[in-house]
Structure 1
């Protein structure tokens, strides 16, 4: 029997607080951070910087000049403090560029502050005091996600996030609500990223289901898990086929969110997230380098779990059901073979001509179940589905498809506001013949225009329901530290979903 893996205790995001006072008026801070704004006549420092210069006996503008700072977004000038007024414990001053001062600039500035203050006890910053509308929240999200870390070391984490960030000079009436919402968004991104980081010797389908039960119960959700026997009894042939080669049996996870005051007529959104806990490619095996990141092939499922857990925190006004078909695509004598035909929930059949195109097979089952049993007003699936999407859009932008113009507009607006960028792709009907099998209803290995044909395959399971398909294989992995993205799995998706579902009327124009 293999030794059971146990996840070590992980680091936590920073804690946040608001204060109307400026940094020099707040005691106990180890670091002060001030915004730097480019100006036609040079650089400007934000609120509290003049008072800090006087209190510390440091000419901060001269320090900027000596460092040849430009004020560009995320640029950090670090100024050690060797001695200071007895009333201050500050040992470091950070001057942080905010560029043009957009919401995106403040998200990136927050991440820059977080990276520059790791292993520190506290930082007080006046960045939020000059932030535009939505800028305070973006600053907090950036600081949270820029702080992210994951470890499995016997000696503990290599570094820790700054323990506390105080947003100084903030006295707006709505700041408390903005902060709470930002913590929910950033926390969902953190959770999604953490789930994707867990290696597959722990992260089996049953383990992922246990995490969904745990976070769902804490968030007041109803959580149901299908085991292999129930999946077989109810005809989830795609999930069973994909998970058939693994010793770790597949699961289907359902998470139900009902807002306060819900009525029977309240519309329902169904989210479906791909939950492949490891993908070898099956008998059409991947090359070894292609497997290195496949512990995160459940990132779509992780995004759904994380978003579902935060719906109440963003005051989502509609009923939402999250579905995560979870399986490990492994190799054994019981693995599905090229040429097999699987029967999905509801009866539609698929010829399996590529066992490495497994994600669409599990998504198809969950989508068919949603349409048949849940009467969704809107259906959205999210997945690391195709390498073709990365070829198409590169590293930092996800792709999406939609059969409804209004829904497409909602997705685009939420992406722009959240910082999780997507680009709409076409559902090219001329390619339909590529997803048609000679012996079954569909072919899972159309080839050519791979992201589009994968979407066309899935569209058959959406029926006439307004549907969007988000394929973020392009944005699922960050190769290096970049703004709020830390190296490794990106945890992409929850911020976009929550920005949409937490709006005043996420189904405006649809329901």
Structure 2
């Protein structure tokens, strides 16, 4: 991973990056004033290059100019758009990709620079991410970035926050990208244990199949029953002494989803290693909260199972008894995520009694049908809670859209043989799944948020700070939101 340090001035850099802002109808793109400014010769040369290089200043534009025998030997002009955090994030990602053949670069920031620094650092670290299980092709050469700011000590906390946020997002990407030939519930729980060991203040409990059976986690056991790799329930707890608010985060953790007996077609099954992206996000956010020592108690529940086809798999038409006793009829074993989440939500309400309850899940394909590939679908009966979380998600550079919970759709959940029908075939797939989950939130119903993030958990191409593959969606938004709680 890139080493990033704050410096008060450039130390005869080989490669100097200068930010460029857009012009207007009557003025060309221009260099952004930096602190300290580049030398007169470099500034004049860069200014003269702007029209020749046809820079507009749009965020993510990169132009390199060689200066043989000069210092710096390379001058890079970097478009930073409006200069807000998203544009700096986009610029940082573009710079990481453009500089892959460099070893070390120096980037000059404007005075103050907190917004620019956070965006740049997150962009650099997320844009340079890559996941490979082979050494073929080698790693990018870029290893060090010096960031020139006017107050290195004063901005150290901003750098630490940005670095931690990006590192936790990269962890979520790693967990999600890992093939399911490696990643089963036991492996995932082991990865959490290894990461949590770096934070002695974290409390970890992993329930294995025998404990799940003894305590009545029927949904997790049903979904995981068809696999040779038994299910788990990970409970990770960050308890700062000064916390006044307790948040429980729940993340769907299906380490591979065949669809069970309601088996998926091959095209729909190819990427089902990503079906635990919700669990990866909430675990990583909790580790981030501990690393940043946020003054809010965070308990994460990650129900982990592998939904496989075998003689032990649960069947369409089965009735499942969830934690706490509620029963559900399921006629589609490919609607398994809500079954494991129901157990975790019921446990959180009955035993943990938090102030706020949030779940993230790669739950339905209907999410992408409604909102496309880059938005999560957010559901809540609490207007303020929904607005606060949406604002944090947006500020973090992620996207979500609030969806309705229509009262008249609740009747779709009716069953002749159980308390609820978990997978009624009545349309509105993402909405009905959310309504089903709400039935397990008890007296926290008005303090609960569900986010269906199946679509934005994976990117099919490179876009801004996203790389192809797992996005780590949710980590950045959750950390922003948790940082606002007291």
User: Of the candidates 72, 77, 98, which is equivalent to residue 80 of structure 2?
Assistant: 98
Alignment of 1:71 with 2:57, yes or no, is: yes
Backbone CA RMSD of aligned residues: 1.9
The separation in 2 between residues aligned to 1:382 and 1:445, in whole angstroms, is: 18
Alignment of 1:432 with 2:410, yes or no, is: yes
Displacement, 1:119? 4.0
User: Of the candidates 111, 115, 136, which is equivalent to residue 97 of structure 2?
Assistant: 115
The answer on whether the counterparts of 1:275 and 1:327 sit within 8 Å (CA) in structure 2 is: yes
The separation in 1 between residues aligned to 2:94 and 2:264, in whole angstroms, is: 37
TM-score w.r.t. the length of structure 2 is 0.94
User: Of the candidates 32, 35, 41, which is equivalent to residue 46 of structure 1?
Assistant: 32
The answer on whether the counterparts of 1:239 and 1:325 sit within 8 Å (CA) in structure 2 is: yes
- Matched residue pairs, number? 479
User: Of the candidates 24, 34, 37, which is equivalent to residue 18 of structure 2?
Assistant: 34
Give SS of 1:42's match: coil
The answer on whether the counterparts of 1:351 and 1:442 sit within 8 Å (CA) in structure 2 is: yes
Deviations 1:289-328 (A, max 9, x none): 1112111110000001111111123332121110000001
Between stretches 410-419 and 232-241, larger displacement belongs to: 410-419
Displacement, 1:399? 1.2
The separation in 2 between residues aligned to 1:393 and 1:400, in whole angstroms, is: 11
The separation in 1 between residues aligned to 2:299 and 2:101, in whole angstroms, is: 39
Displacement, 1:169? 3.0
Alignment of 1:396 with 2:396, yes or no, is: no
Alignment of 1:16 with 2:4, yes or no, is: yes
Equivalences for 1:248-267 in 2 at 5 Å? 248-262=229-243, 266-267=244-245
User: Of the candidates 116, 119, 123, which is equivalent to residue 142 of structure 1?
Assistant: 123
Alignment of 1:328 with 2:306, yes or no, is: yes
User: Of the candidates 153, 162, 167, which is equivalent to residue 142 of structure 2?
Assistant: 162
The answer on whether the counterparts of 2:4 and 2:145 sit within 8 Å (CA) in structure 1 is: yes
Q: Aligned in 2, Cα 1:133/1:446: closer, same or farther, shift over 3 Å?
A: farther
Displacement, 1:91? 4.4
Alignment of 1:486 with 2:474, yes or no, is: no
The separation in 1 between residues aligned to 2:440 and 2:431, in whole angstroms, is: 15
Alignment match, 1:5: none
Between stretches 432-441 and 371-380, larger displacement belongs to: 432-441
The separation in 1 between residues aligned to 2:17 and 2:290, in whole angstroms, is: 32
The separation in 1 between residues aligned to 2:415 and 2:235, in whole angstroms, is: 31
The answer on whether the counterparts of 2:112 and 2:151 sit within 8 Å (CA) in structure 1 is: no
Displacement, 1:144? 0.8
The answer on whether the counterparts of 1:307 and 1:494 sit within 8 Å (CA) in structure 2 is: yes
Alignment match, 2:197: 217
Displacement, 1:47? 4.1
The separation in 2 between residues aligned to 1:399 and 1:299, in whole angstroms, is: 15
Alignment match, 1:284: 262
The answer on whether the counterparts of 1:150 and 1:157 sit within 8 Å (CA) in structure 2 is: no
The separation in 2 between residues aligned to 1:276 and 1:256, in whole angstroms, is: 21
Between stretches 68-77 and 365-374, larger displacement belongs to: 68-77
User: Of the candidates 56, 69, 77, which is equivalent to residue 84 of structure 1?
Assistant: 69
The answer on whether the counterparts of 2:114 and 2:155 sit within 8 Å (CA) in structure 1 is: no
User: Of the candidates 107, 114, 117, which is equivalent to residue 125 of structure 1?
Assistant: 107
Deviations 1:204-238 (A, max 9, x none): 10000001111112123111000011111111110
Displacement, 1:53? 7.3
- 5+ residue gaps, structure 1: 1-12
Deviations 1:57-106 (A, max 9, x none): x832343322322111111112234x123xx4x54322111112222111
The separation in 1 between residues aligned to 2:310 and 2:349, in whole angstroms, is: 33
Q: Aligned in 2, Cα 1:484/1:467: closer, same or farther, shift over 3 Å?
A: same
Alignment match, 1:236: 217
Give SS of 1:312's match: helix
Displacement, 1:476? 1.1
Give SS of 1:361's match: helix
TM-score w.r.t. the length of structure 1 is 0.90
Displacement, 1:45? 1.3
Deviations 1:439-459 (A, max 9, x none): 111112123111100000000
User: Of the candidates 432, 443, 450, which is equivalent to residue 429 of structure 2?
Assistant: 450
The separation in 2 between residues aligned to 1:233 and 1:205, in whole angstroms, is: 19
Displacement, 1:437? 1.6
The answer on whether the counterparts of 1:30 and 1:121 sit within 8 Å (CA) in structure 2 is: no
Alignment match, 2:438: 459
Displacement, 1:55? 5.4
Displacement, 1:245? 0.8
The answer on whether the counterparts of 1:185 and 1:310 sit within 8 Å (CA) in structure 2 is: yes
Give SS of 1:59's match: helix
The separation in 1 between residues aligned to 2:55 and 2:296, in whole angstroms, is: 47
The separation in 1 between residues aligned to 2:307 and 2:111, in whole angstroms, is: 50
The separation in 1 between residues aligned to 2:250 and 2:345, in whole angstroms, is: 7
Alignment of 1:178 with 2:178, yes or no, is: no
Give SS of 1:328's match: strand
The answer on whether the counterparts of 1:314 and 1:502 sit within 8 Å (CA) in structure 2 is: no
